[in-house]
């Protein structure tokens, strides 16, 4: 099969052990980022299987309709960047493992790194030191403070464990089934959303971005936070109402933020408020960007392609396409060759 891989910024994938799974296929890897439809259509004109790295490139109808040979999109995790209805209409299978039983330790570790960096102003202290200044302020320790986990799923549970190890009081807010799981794991749960935001010294978001969670953190929620509190978001920027975080930081509640995700990615605007505010620590969506995490993720992604090449299917997220007359021709099963 002719396989194209987009947005491998540092040409990492061909160095992974799991890349050998694609041996025998015609693989092209692109290391730059494009969103221009004309340029992408030309680049992918004869692609049969398309590999995506998370949500780096938007795959919409205007592009899909210009890719006549595309049969499979293979990726991992959620897919708000893919027009699933258009894929189904055009006969393109979308395979995406949801890794329900494998937390992203890379994302959890980055979350904790951001907590420490923001509470102790590590980036600001480093910048000052390089500029010839010796200490620029007094930071905050974590022990004895309240760590709020908003969304107690795979990653949230891991981060809660880090908080416990640091001597923090962990408080959870989530849907009732997740609250029950948190209580079973020995953590306290808030009695209301308002109480949760009022009590947290550090509050970390750990939810998938779906219609029900978009804008789930409101301006009024943020206004309840302590002026000394830190909000951490390594999940998705649209979990917070548009502009609410910047306005809240300017108003002083919460007093700090640490973010790995943005409304528009990749973020190129050096004047974006989240990059210019002294009370913000920001990283360029690197929560999942580690060699170990890549090995896990792309094992799944490449396995989906290998299965498809054998005439089998794995982790199909648009099953309606399978019974459609529009379904593009699949490979002949290996056993029948």
> Could you tell me the fold of the domain covering 2-100+291-323?
Rossmann fold (3.40.50)
- Full-model pTM: 0.91
**Active site residue: 54, 71, 236, 241, which one?**
236
- Are β-strands 72-76 and 49-51 bridged in parallel, bridged antiparallel, or unpaired? parallel
Q: Is the pLDDT of residue 318 over 50?
A: yes
Q: What is the pLDDT of residue 337?
A: 34
**Portions of the chain given CATH number 3.40.50.720:** 2-100+291-323, 105-282
Does the annotation mark 236 as catalytic? yes
In this predicted model, what pLDDT tens digit does every residue of 163-210 receive, in sequence order? 999 999 999 999 999 999 999 999 999 999 999 999 999 999 999 998
Tell me how far apart the alpha carbons of residues 64 and 268 are, in angstroms, rounded to a whole number.
Answer: 26
Residue among 206, 259, 249, 204 nearest 228 (CA): 249
Element (H, E) at 245: helix 244-251
In this predicted model, what pLDDT tens digit does every residue of 41-94 receive, in sequence order? 999 999 999 999 999 999 999 999 999 999 999 999 989 999 999 999 999 999
Under the banding of pLDDT at 50, 70 and 90, the label for residue 33 is very high
Percent of residues, the chain, with pLDDT higher than 70: 98
Separation in Å, CA 63 to CA 69, 82, 87, 186, 321: 12, 11, 11, 49, 18
Under the banding of pLDDT at 50, 70 and 90, the label for residue 103 is confident
User: What average pLDDT does the chain have?
Assistant: 96
Beta-carbon contacts of 144 under 8 Å, excluding residues fewer than 6 positions away, are 167, 168, 169
Cβ–Cβ < 8 Å for 303, 21: yes
Tokens coding 187: 């953590």
Does the annotation mark 285 as catalytic? yes
Tell me how far apart the alpha carbons of residues 231 and 222 are, in angstroms, rounded to a whole number.
Answer: 9
Beta-sheet strands, E only, within 158-310 = 169-173, 188-189, 202-205, 230-233, 256-259, 280-282
Mean of the pLDDT values across residues 102-119? 95
**Active site residue: 54, 76, 224, 285, which one?**
285
**Active site residue: 265, 293, 295, 310, which one?**
265
Mean of the pLDDT values across residues 119-142? 97
User: What 3-state DSSP class applies to 175?
Assistant: coil
Tell me how far apart the alpha carbons of residues 285 and 280 are, in angstroms, rounded to a whole number.
Answer: 15
Q: What is the pLDDT of residue 333?
A: 61
Q: What is the pLDDT of residue 13?
A: 98
Tell me how far apart the alpha carbons of residues 153 and 171 are, in angstroms, rounded to a whole number.
Answer: 14
Tokens coding 76: 């991992």
Tokens coding 93: 């299978």
Cβ–Cβ < 8 Å for 52, 73: yes
In this predicted model, what pLDDT tens digit does every residue of 234-285 receive, in sequence order? 999 999 999 999 999 999 999 999 999 999 999 999 999 999 999 999 999 9
Separation in Å, CA 32 to CA 2, 29, 184: 19, 9, 46
> How would you label 159-184 residue by residue, b for 16+ Cβ within 10 Å and e otherwise?
bbebbeebebbbbbbbeeebbebbee
Mean of the pLDDT values across residues 7-11? 97
Separation in Å, CA 6 to CA 50, 59, 134, 287, 328: 8, 11, 44, 19, 22
* Torsion, CA 140, CA 146, CA 151, CA 157, rounded to 10: 90
Q: How many CB atoms lie within 10 A of CB 17?
A: 9
Q: Which CATH class is domain 105-282?
A: alpha beta
Q: Is the pLDDT of residue 27 over 70?
A: yes
């Amino acid at each position: 099969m002719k396989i194209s891989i987009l947005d491998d910024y540092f040409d990492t994938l061909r160095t992974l052990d799991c890349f050998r799974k694609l041996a025998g296929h015609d693989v092209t890897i692109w290391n730059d980022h494009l969103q221009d439809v004309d340029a992408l259509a030309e680049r992918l004109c004869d692609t049969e299987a398309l590999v995506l790295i998370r949500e780096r490139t938007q795959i919409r109808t205007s592009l899909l309709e210009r890719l006549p040979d595309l049969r499979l999109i293979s990726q991992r995790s959620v897919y708000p960047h893919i027009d699933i209805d258009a894929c189904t209409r055009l006969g393109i299978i979308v395979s995406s493992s949801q890794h329900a039983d494998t937390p992203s330790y890379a994302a959890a570790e980055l979350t904790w790194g951001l907590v420490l960096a923001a509470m102790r102003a590590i980036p600001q202290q480093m910048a000052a030191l390089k500029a010839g200044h010796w200490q620029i302020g007094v930071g905050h320790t974590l022990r004895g403070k309240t760590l709020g986990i908003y969304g107690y799923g795979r990653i949230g549970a891991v981060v809660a464990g880090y908080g416990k190890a640091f001597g923090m009081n962990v408080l959870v807010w989530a849907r009732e089934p997740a609250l029950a799981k948190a209580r079973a794991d020995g953590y306290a749960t808030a009695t209301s959303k308002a109480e949760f935001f009022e009590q947290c010294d550090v509050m970390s978001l750990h939810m998938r971005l779906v219609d029900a969670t978009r804008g789930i953190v409101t301006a009024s929620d943020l206004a309840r936070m302590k002026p000394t509190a830190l909000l951490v978001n390594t999940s998705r920027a649209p979990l917070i109402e548009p502009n609410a975080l910047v306005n809240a930081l300017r108003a002083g509640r919460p007093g700090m933020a640490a973010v790995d995700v943005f409304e528009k990615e990749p973020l190129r605007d050096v004047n974006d408020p989240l990059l210019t505010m002294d009370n913000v620590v920001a990283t360029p969506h690197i929560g999942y960007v580690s060699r170990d995490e890549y090995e896990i993720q792309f094992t799944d992604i490449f396995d989906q392609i290998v299965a498809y090449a054998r005439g089998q299917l794995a982790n199909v997220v648009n099953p309606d396409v399978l019974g459609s007359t529009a379904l593009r021709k699949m490979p002949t099963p290996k056993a029948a060759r």
